[in-house]
Amino acid sequence: MKKIIVSLSLAIWCCGLATSQPQTRIKLLPDEERYFTVGLLGGVYFLQDQVFQELYGKSAPFIGAEMTLRFPIREPHGMDIAAGGRMLTKKGLTSYTEEDIRLRLTDLFLSLRYSYDTGRFALFLGPGIEYITYRETYAETFPIDSTQGSQTGLHLTGGGYLHLTSSLSLKGHCKYCLIATDKPGFRINLGGTEWGVGILYRFYF
Amino acid sequence: MIHRRHLRLSQTRAGLFFIGLIGTAVFSYGQIHFTEVSAEFDVRGYSYFGGHGVCWVDVNRDGRIDIFVKNQGAVDLPAVPDILFINYGTYFVDEAGTRGAADAYAYGTHGAVFVDLDGDRDFDLFASTTYGGISPAYNHLYRNNGNAFFEDITSSIVPAQTTDLSARGVAAADFDGDGDIDLYFSNPLPDPDPYNPLPSPPQSLPNFYINNGDGTFTPEYRGIDWISFTQGVATGDFDGDGDIDIAQAMWGAPSTVYRNDGTGHFRNVGGQIGLPISTGDFDNGIVWADVDNDGDLDLAIVGEGGVALYRNTASQYSRYQVILWARPTGGFHVSFGDFDNDGDLDLYLSGDNIYENDGQGNFAVIPESESGLEDSLTMEDPRGAALADFDGDGDLDIYVTNKDGYNRLFRNDLNNTDWIEAEIMNDPHGHVGSIGAKLDLYQAGHVGQPAYLKGHREMTGEYGYLGQDMPIAHFGAPAAGGAKYDLRVTFPDGTQRVYSGLTPGQKVQVASISPPLNLRGEKIENKALFYRETLIELTWEPNPLNDDVQEYKVYELDQGQNMLAELPADQFSYTLRNMNRDKVYRFAVTAVDSRGLESEPATITINGGAQVERSKRRGLIRTLRRPR
């Protein structure tokens, strides 16, 4: 019985869609979406490194900031240049002695993204470069105090904006980072997948 | 042609092999047989003069028994320094000169004893000097530095000697029961008239070096008068009262026993305990041994004419057998050892034959044609001898010195498993060898029951005429019927250890405090994200033989011994941080008792390269997931 009711409902909904009139596009933004945004980001970074996962857990939360400069090419198509950074800190334990350790990853990025902006929402996708500085600090009983260094890498990012007002948007994104270092004498994969949301304020020019 | 020669050679080898097999089978069946191997092992010594006594001792603590030969010199002959043959398994090398143990006084050495004077687990050397008309003729003490290199420390631990000495036999033991080793030496005067058959008026001379407890010694008179020229000296607890008594073989005066009053003062009790009170004999050697397995020390006195055997019954001696000596040179020495591993002590008369024990302490000669000791009877002037299992095959071999020719090494061809050996690694005062310790072997399950006593040994220094056996007690312990044995060790301070359920064919390491068991170590990778640390985790188990462990000490053995930690008695692991993953490490762990006595080390070598990846948390996760 339930199956019949659900099937009928789906059929009526599909017929409605097929016969509906075209809707007027609701636009919050001007026709030429040439703008500059600043925003705050937050999210979770899932590092791929198995040792990281063993010591710190599978993910680490981060906060960050982002600036985006959009150049329309032929609306709704355009290009974004985005730059920003994020920082994450996480406490963990060494693998055998279980001493406290603390990791701080600071990440600066620059992306060049294709942007499809309807005025109500926008989608983007593009590659970029990453510059990560890392610092791991250890307990007093550990043989050394800390380790620090930096490394550059690449990323591919994609996501979207939901324009709440003409100046304010929500952002959701996913970024896959390719970055690894051999500086300690062994390989550490600092890459992974970042999932984040943010809120942005837009300036037009 | 070549092929044929090879074939012939291999046939010859095969034949020899089978002859060897047959020979081994024959001799393994409890028959006493020896082969003279002194040339094979290059331990003959000087061809023309010298050999007077011998000590079997593991000077470098490598588990192989070395030989120290005491040589008397002569003014008109080339020098004959003492010999220290280091045992390298298949051959020996004389290293006395390089190791500082040659004691090259022109007129040579008679008495000498290896004993752990300073409780540092190695054998030091007390070498007496016999005055031969060349002054000064002083005793010497040599400290073993642990690697069998000796340093003459006489002047720093003994007051300056001003009198030439004519020492023959010497003795070492804790005579005063204060936990350290004292020394005794015979003839504390120059030029006694050895051939005067009339005893001299007693002279109360300082013939003991009493250990002050701080590593120095004080010469003292302790009740043993010099009354006559003295040859061999023996030590043992003949009356079972827990202290070390002394026996002396003398010329002119009767050989006798001096009873210790427990404080290191002695009294001549020969007449009271059944020994002859008046003889004109020239006795050379004296030995204590339990020949009838009744737990007390019987006595053998070796004189010019033979060996007189005295049975000990309730600390009274009665002569019950005489073994005659028919050779023109005097009889000097006997050694007691269970040469056929049948459970009783047989007798070897130096330069003569083996005499087999019937189990009751009565001895019957084994002709040299059977025993293979023809070479023993052809020695020019046989002197001191001593016993050791120098080849580690569980039977007792014999080294015999020869004053006027090459010394002899007789290898015992028995090679069966009817034996148990016990080596004292440390006693409650830290002395390796533990002179004065008593070892009683019982049928398993019957410790302390006299009817089940299978052998009684007392660790001793020099005995007979200038002989010192290996510092390892050897028992014949027949394995027939799956027999097992219990070994009770009574240390000089009276404390005891019992080792139960011993099967024949094994060597027991006896210790007042024993090393921890099952020492293990592994390299473990301790990971942070950006730093990989190599840990070394040492773990061990407490030794159930220890009942008084105060702490454990951990050492790194790397060109020396570097102590890393002192740990409480309830801690059985130690972790070393930030180690080199690729380096080879050696560690030792010892147990320490409440008196500060430290056990032998348990050691471990941890190789480079391999390390274990281990995560306590991951291990925990696995453990938690499994039940699901």
Point out the residue among B527, B533, B575 whose CB comes nearest to the CB of A55.
B527
Please name the residues in contact with B229: beta carbons below 8 A apart, sequence gap of 6 or more.
B168, B187, B192, B193, B194, B195, B196, B250, B251, B252
Please name the residues in contact with B209: beta carbons below 8 A apart, sequence gap of 6 or more.
B139, B158, B182, B183, B184, B185, B217, B218, B219, B220
pLDDT of B152 > 70? The answer is: yes
Q: Do B526 and A95 touch (CB under 8 A)?
A: yes
Mean pLDDT on B179-197: 86
> Measured between alpha carbons, how far is B350 from B79 in angstroms, rounded to an integer?
25
B379-B385-B391-B396 Cα dihedral, nearest 10 degrees: 110
- Report the 10 Å Cβ neighbour count for B5: 9
Q: Dump pLDDT digits (tens) for A93-123.
A: 999 999 999 999 999 999 999 999 888 899 9
**Probe site for chain B from A51, A53, A89, A96 (most B CB atoms < 10 A):** A96
pLDDT of res. A71: 87
Residues in chain B: 628
Q: Do B527 and A103 touch (CB under 8 A)?
A: no
Q: Do B530 and A184 touch (CB under 8 A)?
A: yes
Point out the residue among B529, B533, B618 whose CB comes nearest to the CB of A143.
B533
pLDDT of res. A20: 43
CA A81 distance to own-chain centroid: 14
Give the pLDDT band (50/70/90) at residue B131.
confident
**pTM summary value:** 0.73
Contacts of B578 in chain A (CB under 8 A): 143
Q: Dump pLDDT digits (tens) for B555-591.
A: 999 878 899 999 999 999 999 999 998 999 999 999 9
Point out the residue among A49, A95, A186 whose CB comes nearest to the CB of B615.
A95
Point out the residue among B524, B575, B615 whose CB comes nearest to the CB of A54.
B615
Distance in Å, alpha carbon of A91 to nearest chain B alpha carbon: 11
User: Residues of B at the A interface (Cβ-Cβ below 8 Å)?
Assistant: 524-533, 535, 575, 577-578, 613-618
For chain B, what percentages of helix, strand and coil (3-state, to nearest 5) are there? Answer: 10, 40, 50
> Measured between alpha carbons, how far is A177 from B395 in angstroms, rounded to an integer?
76
Least-confidence region, from B259-268, B455-464, B465-474, B611-620: B611-620
Cα-based distances in Å from B159 to A131, B209, B218, B265:
81, 10, 7, 21
What is the interface pTM, i.e. ipTM, of the complex?
A: 0.83
As a whole-number percent, the residues of chain B with pLDDT over 90 amount to 75
- Distance, first Cα to last Cα, chain B: 77
Cα-based distances in Å from B66 to A5, B36, B120, B335, B432:
103, 17, 19, 18, 16
Query: Chain B: residue nearest A100 by CA?
Result: B528
Identify the sign of the CA torsion B365, B370, B345, B432.
Answer: positive
pLDDT of B29 > 70? The answer is: no
Give the pLDDT band (50/70/90) at residue B4.
very low
User: B130 — phi, psi (to 5°)?
Assistant: -105, 120
Please name the residues in contact with B111: beta carbons below 8 A apart, sequence gap of 6 or more.
B53, B70, B127, B128, B167, B168, B169, B170, B185, B186, B233, B462, B466
Two tokens at B343? 């459970």
> Measured between alpha carbons, how far is B203 from B208 in angstroms, rounded to an integer?
14
Q: Are B384 and B332 in contact (CB under 8 A)?
A: yes
Q: Do A54 and B530 touch (CB under 8 A)?
A: no
Q: Do B529 and A186 touch (CB under 8 A)?
A: no
pLDDT, mean over chain B = 90
Q: Are B401 and B85 in contact (CB under 8 A)?
A: no
Q: Are B424 and B511 in contact (CB under 8 A)?
A: yes
Burial (CB count within 10 angstroms: exposed 0-12, middle 13-18, buried 19+), residue B480: exposed
Q: Do B526 and A93 touch (CB under 8 A)?
A: no
Q: Dump pLDDT digits (tens) for A55-97.
A: 999 999 999 999 999 888 887 888 999 999 999 999 999 999 9
How many CB contacts within 8 angstroms connect chain A with chain B?
Answer: 70
pLDDT of B24 > 70? The answer is: no
Q: What is the SS3 assignment for B450-467?
A: HHHEEEEEECCCCEECCE
Burial (CB count within 10 angstroms: exposed 0-12, middle 13-18, buried 19+), residue A119: middle
Q: Do B577 and A55 touch (CB under 8 A)?
A: no
Q: Are A154 and A179 in contact (CB under 8 A)?
A: yes
Point out the residue among A97, A149, A188 whose CB comes nearest to the CB of B526.
A97
> Measured between alpha carbons, how far is A193 from A44 in angstroms, rounded to an integer?
8
Distance in Å, alpha carbon of B527 to nearest chain A alpha carbon: 5
pLDDT of res. A6: 55
User: B149 — phi, psi (to 5°)?
Assistant: -105, 130
> Measured between alpha carbons, how far is A82 from A39 in angstroms, rounded to an integer?
11
> Measured between alpha carbons, how far is B115 from B172 in angstroms, rounded to an integer?
7
Residues in chain A: 205
Angle at B44 between CA B42 and CA B50, to 5 degrees: 145
User: A9 — phi, psi (to 5°)?
Assistant: -60, -45
Q: Do B531 and A138 touch (CB under 8 A)?
A: yes
Identify the sign of the CA torsion B442, B289, B174, B435.
Answer: negative
pLDDT of res. B456: 98
Q: Are B216 and B181 in contact (CB under 8 A)?
A: no
Higher pLDDT, B614 or B508: B508
Please give the single-letter amino acid code of residue B65: I
Contacts of B524 in chain A (CB under 8 A): 96
Strand partners for A31: none
> Measured between alpha carbons, how far is B523 from B26 in angstroms, rounded to an integer?
51
Cα-based distances in Å from B185 to A101, A203, B33, B168:
69, 110, 36, 7
> Measured between alpha carbons, how far is B204 from B223 in angstroms, rounded to an integer?
7
> Measured between alpha carbons, how far is B218 from B208 in angstroms, rounded to an integer?
8
Q: Are B132 and B110 in contact (CB under 8 A)?
A: no
Distance in Å, alpha carbon of A184 to nearest chain B alpha carbon: 6
Q: Are B236 and B297 in contact (CB under 8 A)?
A: yes
Q: Dump pLDDT digits (tens) for B239-262.
A: 999 999 999 999 988 999 999 999
As a whole-number percent, the residues of chain A with pLDDT over 70 amount to 84
Q: Do A52 and B529 touch (CB under 8 A)?
A: yes
Distance in Å, alpha carbon of A190 to nearest chain B alpha carbon: 10
Q: Do B577 and A143 touch (CB under 8 A)?
A: yes
- Pick from B531, B593, B27, B206: which is nearest to A103 by CA? B531
Query: Chain A: residue nearest B524 by CA?
Result: A96
Q: Do A96 and B529 touch (CB under 8 A)?
A: no
Contacts of A53 in chain B (CB under 8 A): none
